[in-house]
Structure 1
Amino acid sequence: MIEISAKLIGGPVYLPGDSIGCCITFLNKTPASFQNDDRKNNFEVLAWSSAQIHCSCVTNDKRITDKNFHGSAELSVNSETSFFPHKEDIGHIVFSTKPKILFCEMKLLSGESKSFLYTETLQNEIPPSYRGQLVKYSYKITIGTQRVNNAIKLLKIPLRILVIDEIFSIFLYDEVILGFPEVSTCEDSIDLSPSNPFLDICEKDKELEPTFQVLQNITTRRNANFYNITNSKGKVARFCLFKSAYKLGEDIIGTFDFEMSTVPCVQFVVSLQCEEIISEKYRLPGKRDRAVTPYSNCSEFCLNMKQCFLNLPIPLYITPAFSTNIVSLRWKLHFEFVTNIKSTELLRNTSKNDRIWHAPKSMEIETMVWDLPIQIYPTTTISDLHTQTKSYLVI
């Protein structure tokens, strides 16, 4: 009995261009009581083992056509005796690395183990990990192992790949590579990224330090933007958003000012939404070209209030904006304002300075909606240095 264990070095989250390291250990767990007296025969034999990274894409066949899909062609092979890492996956293979052979014909005595380090560098132009309504991208490291005269067994380890939007890439190229190595969008050029003096900086962080510096400065920049929200009857509210670029895990903070409003606002609802837009090449005729998915939301009754605050958390598990040849993902804040058509100011004087407001029995209302685009980027702390993902397989 052979136990195969695989442990990711540096955590399960990576960026394009990162180097992935995986420590793979093979352990002979055959009890000593089952061994023969002849020591020459007290071993297990593995024919070979190989590892590969691949990304599978699953599309919604009711909204997206696969006629123009340029995925990897599936080969007609015998999956029992040939390494076929994505034989159990559905969808198209849009990215795969060349398989690397770990060993050929390895013998293990009872209790003996051997470890191998599998390394691979991700390409720059790859899609991110994403599970949406229209398309799903999923990455895995697949380790295939075969015992002599037995079928191949597969051990799959999921990966999460985050990408940086094209807009940021263009900015980084123009500002950092083309003669501006000390770029900063803040007033100073101090490194604003979080640091821990008790942890050593790994090589991965050193390689991505310029990218993280620019990313941190862009998402830390605070430049308040004010928006006057109006309808056909007048001004509903004044909204203030302190910044428009955020990282995963941050909170979206804003304020609503109703003091100068001419249209009473009864309630507002703000939700964080992602919008998937299908490229024209893959769009089915007569079908909608986009899908909207809501995430966290904030709701408040604000009738007769002068100010309200917005605090909307950005989940860590969502995918930042990206674009592929099939679909584009964008983020926005979706506002819904419930306004009162007629005045409902029912007040009764009790004294010179005190007044009592009575809520009306009924109210004529109408709802208006408004969308505000925002930018969401990966967090600068890709993964905890002490986080390791380990998977097991017994053959």
Structure 2
Amino acid sequence: MKNTDWKKKGDAVFAGTYSRFPAAMVRGEGCRLRDADGREYLDFLAGIAVCSLGHCHPAVTEAICSQAKKLMHVSNLFYTEPQTELAELLTANSFADRVFMANSGAEANEAAIKLARIHSGKGRFEIISLSGSFHGRTLATVAATGQPKFHQGFEPMPAGFVHADFGDSEELEKLINPTTCAILCEPLQGESGVRPLTPEYLQKIRSLCDKYNLLLIFDEVQTGMGRTGSLFAYEQLGVTPDIMTLAKALGNGLPVGAMLTRSEIAASFTVGTHASTFGGNPVAAAAGVAVMKTMLADGFLEDVRERSAYFIQRLEEVAAKFPQLASGVRGSGMLLALVLTEKGIEHGTDIVQQLFERGCLINFAGMRVLRFIPPLTVSREDIDQLINELSEVLGEVG
């Protein structure tokens, strides 16, 4: 069947929660996708920062197929080899020594919220997050999300969440009260426009948590797993959280999430306080093990940083060439944005659509930047192709 056939069939059966491109993707390899009409696309979306090793990475594919032949699911009433190995890899390469396995970023954040509340004790339940943040689509994680547009139609929001203005540590401190138990933030906000939190700001948040005996939760669902050039973004910032959440790239396409913390905090989760039927499923966990081993291999993250520097340079060239449309570049690793001017913002959606028609996939994040989140394995040649197509589109728009 063709793209038009799949679109017609899908529109007849799906809830209308997505605005989809008119293409049905049928195959992927590396940084390339192919649709039902046989058209190829250069993918700088990576399933929204998920397929960080590229589509159908051989090591991940082999791990999935091998595990699927042995054991698909038994629930967390039993131990499994892949889940245990994945937890060992996560703790051995982070600040944490305990892991709770989930299926998604929202679920990992739900676990973090519940752990923060139960660990902090009776009467302490409120969590402060930041304006512009994004933490998930469940009711609790939507309430934690500091973007009112995601709240609309779902009010009243669950109680216990307040939002501090982005970058204002003094205002944040004023929100702390006897019911506060934690501060939740992304080291770099992805969905609201690739907005980095400075090391100084994060260090101030860490000091406030220490001063008021609060837990610091880092949502690294998008920034984790090599996306910013280190395995976890916190490693570059001189700030260590008490709890960290992961998902997206952890399974390179299979649904798996994780909440990481220290033993003394994890001890507040006892038998029956939290659970997930599918969390750490053997097949998803096997994919996660393959992802971790690939990213931890000598030179992998160094190569990401080197190609990131090249990508930033090329994007800066674009910004300099089209100052009427773009004002600069921000982000780190392979989570980058071309910041648009007011005129550029007017054309943001159209720029993305024109690039799609040219066979290049990006998105318009926060209605203010063009966001680029390609596989970490993207080549210089792929980057050059994207830059050439982007330049032609901006030349037509401008």
Q: TM-score, normalised by structure 2?
A: 0.26
Indicate the structure (1 or 2) with the bigger Cα radius of gyration: 1
| Bigger strand share | 1
